[in-house]
Amino acid sequence: MMSREKTTAARLSTGLATSGRSTPLASQSNLNQAAIGSNTVLSQSPSTMMASNGSPANAGPSQTIRFRTGIRNTVYDAMRDRGWKEADGDMDWDFFWADVHWIHETFDHVYLQEHQRINHFRNHYELTRKDLLVKNVKRMIKSIEKEYGKTESQKFDFLSPSYVLPAEHALFTEEFKRNPGSVWIMKPVGKAQGKGIFLINKISQINGWRKDVKGNVKGDRDGDDAPEAYIVQRYIENPLLIGGKKFDIRVYVLVTSYYPLTIYIHRNGFCRFSNTQFSMQAKDISNMYIHATNVAIQKHSPNYISGRGCKWLLRNLKLFLTARHGSKAVDDLFTEMEASVVRSLMSVQKVMINDKHCFELYGYDILIDQNLKPWLLEVNASPSLTAETQWDYDLKHAMVQDCFDVVDLERRHSGKSIRPRVGGFDLVYNDGPVRHERTSNYASYLGCHQPIPRAPRQKKRFGKPSTPAVKLSGNPNTYSPPTALSGSQDQLVS
């Protein structure tokens, strides 16, 4: 019998044979239309596949869903806006939006009833911890190369070269010596929001970093004596710039099952811009306002304009790049982004503990370089769903509602076919790539138009919107190209 990884790879090659293409997943111009894997063809009306989302058996449409959560953000509001009621007891819930600490500490010690659902897979960290993502993708590359050759395995080349420290210190040193003068980024594996990251361009910056008595490299940033694992990753020195500024992209990805692997991607992602002109000059190497695009860092930049923020709707990026690079190049780029998401999930499918009670809403961080190649930076298990402006609130609220519509705790779609599109979520993989009947000219729906309805609640605490850099005109969802990032409030939000 074939291993699961081999089965996945076999599907890729089956698709290759079926489609007659020489590039089964990575560089095809149309991931959705390509005949790969199970070749599921979905129209906007339901197909013949049955839902596998394990909706609560005892919570029919007339029953009120009882939820538990410790957070107070868009997710909490979205649950209440659906008419769900907060549960009283620790286990007396139908749905639990848990934090990852609860998953690590408690999940293994509780018994879930058939209908209960929870928002993380038990060992999500195989995908969301930076070192484990690197390890799993490297293993997938080796396995594909062995089975199908280098051309196939190169399609999984969506992570910039990375080494785990201290374990791969010697390997990294060798690699660094082969590329003298190259720039690398150090990232603590267990931190987020840009905490503890810094750039290096000399090996001595790592050697001097700290060594314990056994010669292992240790972190010394927090005065912590325990060794802290880092990944050191080749820095993308040629990021695509808009208005001279670097940006990365946040994409929301919903996995409802790992067996079969079932992936939805939301159309409304966004870009997060640096507020400072990009520079690779040696004197700027330690300036994180230039190099790290995390909102948590940019908010403290001297150039940050409160109320204008540093975000841009993915759709606006798509339109802007189409004007700049043409539709074919942009279509390829977005298809490639989608393919990288799918491949990263394929890389962990084998090690992930599937559980019908679980689903997961991941926040993917992607950087595009000047050759329009997307690089996966990391995957977040707990993407920030706290809003900073009303627009941000509306976007996240609508996306979370779409997520709950897919998961369907209310069992509105129980027993019916799996749905190819639910709000802004498009089904892109269901035990094989999904072919949609096209309703747009784009191969990937990522970044395609998806209206952002006003959420039922006004988030008064955002206060009065500050004066936009350019006067707002007309429909906030319409597009006009930005000039050096001085767009209108609808384009630049935080």
Q: Which of 34, 337, 367, 493 binds ligand ADP (CB under 6 A)?
A: 367
- Applying CB under 6 A, the span of 81-89, 191-199, 448-456, 481-489 interacting with ligand ADP comes to 191-199
Spatial distance between the Cα atoms of 165 and 98, rounded to a whole number of angstroms? 30
Residue 267 CB, nearest distance to ligand ADP (Å)? 21
Q: Measured from the CB atom, is 162 or 390 closer to ligand ADP? A: 162
CA 456 – CA 464 distance, rounded (Å): 18
Tokens 């870009």 -> residue: 271
- Burial of residue 473, with CB atoms counted within 10 A of its CB: 0-12 exposed, 13-18 middle, 19 or more buried: exposed
378 touches ligand ADP (CB under 6 A): yes
- Tell me the sheet residues that pair with 252: 363
- Is 193 among the residues that bind ligand ADP (CB under 6 A)? yes
Q: Which is nearer to ligand ADP, 25 or 292 (CB)?
A: 292
Stretch that binds ligand ADP, among 102-110, 231-239, 383-391, 430-438 (CB under 6 A): 231-239
> Which is nearer to ligand ADP, 65 or 236 (by Cβ)?
236
Out of 233, 257, 401, 430, the only residue in the binding site for ligand ADP (CB under 6 A) is 233
Stretch that binds ligand ADP, among 142-150, 287-295, 384-392, 453-461 (CB under 6 A): 287-295
For ligand ADP, the closer of residues 96 and 375 by Cβ is 375
Cβ proximity to ligand ADP, 292 vs 407, nearer residue: 292
Q: Does residue 249 bind ligand ADP (CB under 6 A)?
A: no
Cβ nearer to ligand ADP, comparing 376 with 387 = 376
Q: By rule CB under 6 A, what string of x and - marks binding of each residue 318-357 to ligand ADP?
A: ----------------------------------------
Choosing from 126, 331, 338, 365, the residue that interacts with ligand ADP (CB under 6 A) is: 365
Nearest approach, Cβ of 190 to ligand ADP (angstroms)?
A: 10
Q: Judged by CB under 6 A, does residue 197 bind ligand ADP?
A: yes
Q: Does 192 bind ligand ADP (CB under 6 A)?
A: yes
Nearest CB to ligand ADP, comparing residues 43 and 370: 370
The answer to whether 91 and 106 have CB atoms below 8 angstroms apart is: no
Interface pick for ligand ADP out of 235, 252, 270, 445 (rule CB under 6 A): 235
Q: Going residue by residue from 131 to 160, which x/- string records binding to ligand ADP, judged by CB under 6 A?
A: -----------------------------x
Interface with ligand ADP, residue 294, by CB under 6 A: yes
Nearest distance in Å: CB 247, ligand ADP: 8
CB of residue 250 to ligand ADP, shortest distance in Å: 9
Minimum distance of ligand ADP from residue 162's CB (angstroms): 8
To ligand ADP, the closest distance from the beta carbon of 310 in angstroms equals: 11
By CB under 6 A, how many residues form the interface with ligand ADP? 20
| Lookup: tokens for 429 | 């993989």
Which of residues 42, 377, 395, 452 is near ligand ADP by CB under 6 A?
377
Binding site for ligand ADP (CB under 6 A): 160, 185, 187, 191-195, 197, 233, 235-236, 248, 292-294, 365, 367, 377-378
